[in-house]
C-alpha cells in the first residue's frame, strides 16, 4: 500500500510509515482491547438444529392434519419434542454463554410448542371422532 501522507510505497502490514512516521494502518491489537460486543459469538449448532427440526415438525404436522394420517402426526410430535429439547438447550446456551442464534432457538421453541399442541389436539380429536364413528356402526 501507499502512505496517505507522503505516498511512499510501504509494507501492507505496516502500522506506521517508515518514511514519515505517520500512522497508516490499524493497530492489530489483541482481542482484550476490543469491546466485548465485537467478540465472535460461540457457535450454537443445537439452536439451529432445534429451529430446523421445529420447521420440519411443523411441516409434518400440517401435512398430517391435511391428510389426517396418524403416523405422520406421531412423526410430527416426535420432531416437535426433539425441536423443543434442542431449542431449549440452544436458548440456554445463548443466554448463559452469549452463544449465537438465541433468536432462532426461541423461534424453534415457540414453533415446536405451538405445533405439538396443535398436532396432539388434532390427534386426540381424530381418535375421539374415530371412536364415535365406530360406535355409530
Ligand atoms: Zn509516509
Q: Where are the chain's structural domains?
A: 45-136
Q: Which pLDDT score is estimated for 117?
A: 94
- Contacts of residue 98, Cβ cutoff 8 Å, sequence gap at least 6: 41, 42
For residue 29, report the distance from its CA to the centre of ligand 1, in Å.
Answer: 21
For residue 15, report the distance from its CA to the centre of ligand 1, in Å.
Answer: 11
Residue 83, burial from CB neighbour count under 10 angstroms (0-12, 13-18, 19+): buried
Residues of the chain scoring pLDDT < 50: 32-35
Q: Which pLDDT score is estimated for 34?
A: 47
Q: Which pLDDT score is estimated for 70?
A: 79
Q: Which pLDDT score is estimated for 40?
A: 57
Helix (H) or strand (E) holding 108: helix 102-136
- Asked if 51 contacts 83 with a C-beta cutoff of 8 angstroms, the reply is yes
Cell of 39: 467478540
Cell of 116: 405439538
> What is the pTM (predicted TM-score) of this model?
0.62
Q: What is the mean pLDDT of the chain?
A: 84
Amino acid at each position: 500500500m501507499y502512505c496517505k501522507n507522503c505516498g511512499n510505497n510501504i509494507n501492507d502490514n505496516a502500522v506506521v510509515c517508515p518514511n514519515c512516521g505517520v500512522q497508516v494502518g490499524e493497530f492489530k491489537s489483541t482481542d482484550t482491547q476490543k469491546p466485548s460486543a465485537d467478540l465472535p459469538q460461540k457457535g450454537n449448532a443445537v439452536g439451529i438444529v432445534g429451529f430446523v427440526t421445529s420447521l420440519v415438525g411443523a411441516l409434518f404436522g400440517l401435512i398430517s392434519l391435511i391428510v389426517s394420517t396418524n403416523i405422520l402426526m406421531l412423526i410430527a410430535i416426535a420432531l416437535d419434542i426433539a425441536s423443543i429439547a434442542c431449542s431449549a438447550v440452544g436458548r440456554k446456551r445463548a443466554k448463559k454463554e452469549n452463544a449465537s442464534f438465541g433468536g432462532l432457538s426461541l423461534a424453534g421453541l415457540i414453533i415446536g410448542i405451538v405445533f405439538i399442541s396443535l398436532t396432539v389436539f388434532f390427534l386426540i380429536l381424530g381418535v375421539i371422532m374415530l371412536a364415535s364413528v365406530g360406535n355409530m356402526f
